Amino acid sequence: MTINIKAIKLHALNMTLNHPFSTSFGTVKDREFYIVEVIDQNGHHGFGESVAFATPWYTEETAQTCFHMMRDFLIPLLQAHPIDHPDDLVALFSPIKKNHMAKAAIEGAIWDLYAKTNNIPLYQALGGNKKTIDVGISIGIQPSIDDLIYRIEQSVQAGYKRVKLKIKPGHDMQVLHSVRQHFPDLPLLADANSAYTLKDIDHLKQLDDFNLMMIEQPLGHDDIIDHATLQKNIHTSICLDESIHSFDDVRHAIQLGSCRVINIKIGRVGGLTEAKRIHDYCRDHHIPIWCGGMLEAGIGRAHNIALTTLPNFTLPGDTAGSAHYWQKDIITPPVVVNDGEITVSDTPGIGYEIDWKALEQFSEYTHTFKF
Ligand code: OSB
Ligand code: MG
């Protein structure tokens, strides 16, 4: 059955986070991104979200490279070649190298449309089976230890299943020591966003004192080899984030012993179809996975929830509730976390309605592509 697309709209949005989010590489306060709206001949609407940031600090993509790729390459490919299933997009987009977040934004909208056309929730279309998902929270670098302890305390009270905090050289062992004094048993992980090198190996061995669930992306953003050396020298499990862009990256990392855990972000790996392949490979190799976050608005968040219902997402991810990020989200209802759990919506597609008034409020302009 062909997916009969009538039009694609790209809504350019700007939203401001409740709290500036700081990592080893800088601070994000304003989110600039695109909502992809795919409309078919039957009047169904599918939605996707581009998750790249305004600047290329996390990966090489930006909101504007996503727009360029979607407008000038990906949408024209779709206009020229109708597809039958969202999985077909991998092959269709393969002449365009990388640009995973641009591809994932369109693919996400088509997955939503596909699920709605079949009158099933997106999570079922993906093969997920959970009624609720467990979630954690990621806390950025704070102005002081007291601020950090306060934010962790709030997160624990809100019931989040685990807390992730950010470390960097000069802001690591001391911070973890203080946090552990206040929260000796809290499920905790640290994310370095690639701030260290192998020269820090003796320093990083001290991480083993803090009973962390894992250390996320300690070394280079594009490294898989050095992480294998580090993993052999520390007890704490390494989780890769930035280094993982594809199924093959995961295969290489697992074969080399570069990590024991994988953080999957739909945008970083180029979409839900690739994320599912990675999920299955990790399941077969007994590598636990969790769903990372990109400070998404509601559409991206809804996709993360749907993906997390797949069975090998055994660790709580970074999908916190809408209110943690936004005064007002662009979906209704917003994503709500109770006792560290999100109840998975059973309505067709992503399971949330667009709040059109909010979308309008945050929209700068809309580009329409006719098919
Ligand atoms: O490294 O996981 C990361 C946010 C932006 C970019 C990279 C990362 C993060 C987070 C927060 O840790 C995830 C979220 O709450 O959406
Ligand atoms: Mg990370």
Question: What are the backbone angles phi and psi of residue 268, rounded to the nearest 5°?
Answer: -65, -35
Q: Is 166 an active-site residue? A: yes
Neighbours of 105 (CB within 10 A): 31
CA distance 197 to 226: 8
Same domain membership, residue 183 and residue 112: no
Burial of 364 (0-12, 13-18, 19+ CB in 10 A): exposed
Same domain membership, residue 101 and residue 213: no
Same domain membership, residue 360 and residue 320: no
Question: What are the backbone angles phi and psi of residue 125, rounded to the nearest 5°?
Answer: -60, -30
| pLDDT surpasses 90 at 19 | yes
Domain with 286, as residue range(s), is 124-350
| pLDDT surpasses 80 at 1 | no
CA distance 204 to 160: 27
Q: Which atom of ligand 1 is nearest to the CA of 216?
A: 1
CA distance 320 to 335: 8
Give the amino acid at 118: N
What's 157's domain CATH number? 3.20.20.120
pLDDT, tens digit, for every residue of 290-335?
Answer: 999 999 999 999 999 999 999 999 999 999 999 999 999 999 999 9
Same domain membership, residue 198 and residue 113: no
Same domain membership, residue 358 and residue 278: no
pLDDT, tens digit, for every residue of 252-275?
Answer: 999 999 999 999 999 999 999 999
pLDDT, tens digit, for every residue of 139-155?
Answer: 999 999 999 999 999 99
| pLDDT surpasses 80 at 103 | yes
pLDDT confidence of residue 370: 97
User: In the structure, what pLDDT confidence band is assigned to residue 130 with cuts at 50, 70 and 90?
Assistant: very high
pLDDT confidence of residue 26: 86
pTM of the model: 0.98
Same domain membership, residue 361 and residue 336: no
H or E, element range at 140 = none
Q: Which atom of ligand 1 is nearest to the CA of 325?
A: 15
Same domain membership, residue 314 and residue 223: yes
What's 43's domain CATH number? 3.30.390.10
Say which ligand is closest to the CA of 322: 1
pLDDT, tens digit, for every residue of 36-86?
Answer: 999 999 999 999 999 999 999 999 999 999 999 999 999 999 999 999 999
Q: Decide if 74 contacts 93 (C-beta within 8 A).
A: yes
Q: How far is CA 311 from CA 124, 159, 232, 245, 289, in A?
A: 12, 22, 28, 21, 10
Q: Decide if 13 contacts 363 (C-beta within 8 A).
A: yes
Say which ligand is closest to the CA of 165: 1
Among 17, 23, 49, 164, name the best residue to mutate to test ligand 1's pocket (greatest count of ligand atoms within 8 A of Cβ). 23
Same domain membership, residue 204 and residue 62: no
Number of domains in the chain: 2
Q: Is the CB of 138 under 6 A from ligand 1?
A: yes
Average pLDDT along the chain: 97
- Out of 166, 168, 205, 276, the active site residue is 166
| pLDDT surpasses 80 at 124 | yes
User: In the structure, what pLDDT confidence band is assigned to residue 25 with cuts at 50, 70 and 90?
Assistant: confident
pLDDT confidence of residue 2: 87
The protein residue with its alpha carbon nearest to ligand 1, atom 4, reads 294
CA distance 40 to 371: 10
pLDDT, tens digit, for every residue of 216-230?
Answer: 999 999 999 999 999
Share above pLDDT 90 across residues of the chain, in percent, rounded to a whole number: 99
Token pair 């399941």 in the structure block, residue: 283
3-state secondary structure 216-249: ECCCCCCCCHHHHHHHHHCCCCEEECCCCCCHHH
CA distance 185 to 175: 16
Q: Is the CB of 193 under 6 A from ligand 1?
A: yes
CA distance 203 to 205: 5
Among 18, 19, 21, 219, name the best residue to mutate to test ligand 1's pocket (greatest count of ligand atoms within 8 A of Cβ). 21
Same domain membership, residue 36 and residue 128: no
109-129: b (≥16 Cβ within 10 Å) or e = bbbbbbbbbeeebbbbbbebe
Same domain membership, residue 88 and residue 104: yes
pLDDT confidence of residue 47: 98
Taking the centre of ligand 1 as the mean of its atom positions, its distance from the CA of residue 139, in whole angstroms, is 9
DSSP 8-state symbol, 338: B
Q: Is the CB of 318 under 6 A from ligand 1?
A: yes
Same domain membership, residue 278 and residue 240: yes
Same domain membership, residue 346 and residue 264: yes
| pLDDT surpasses 80 at 348 | yes
Q: Is the CB of 341 under 6 A from ligand 1?
A: no
Q: Is 103 an active-site residue? A: no
Q: Decide if 292 contacts 264 (C-beta within 8 A).
A: yes
pLDDT confidence of residue 282: 98
Angle at the Cα of 217 from the Cα atoms of 210 and 55, rounded to 5 degrees:
130
Q: Decide if 89 contacts 74 (C-beta within 8 A).
A: no
Taking the centre of ligand 1 as the mean of its atom positions, its distance from the CA of residue 22, in whole angstroms, is 9
- Alpha helical stretches, state H, 129-267: 145-157, 173-182, 201-205, 225-233, 247-256
DSSP β-bridge partners for residue 40: 5
The protein residue with its alpha carbon nearest to ligand 1, atom 5, reads 294
Token pair 């299943």 in the structure block, residue: 161
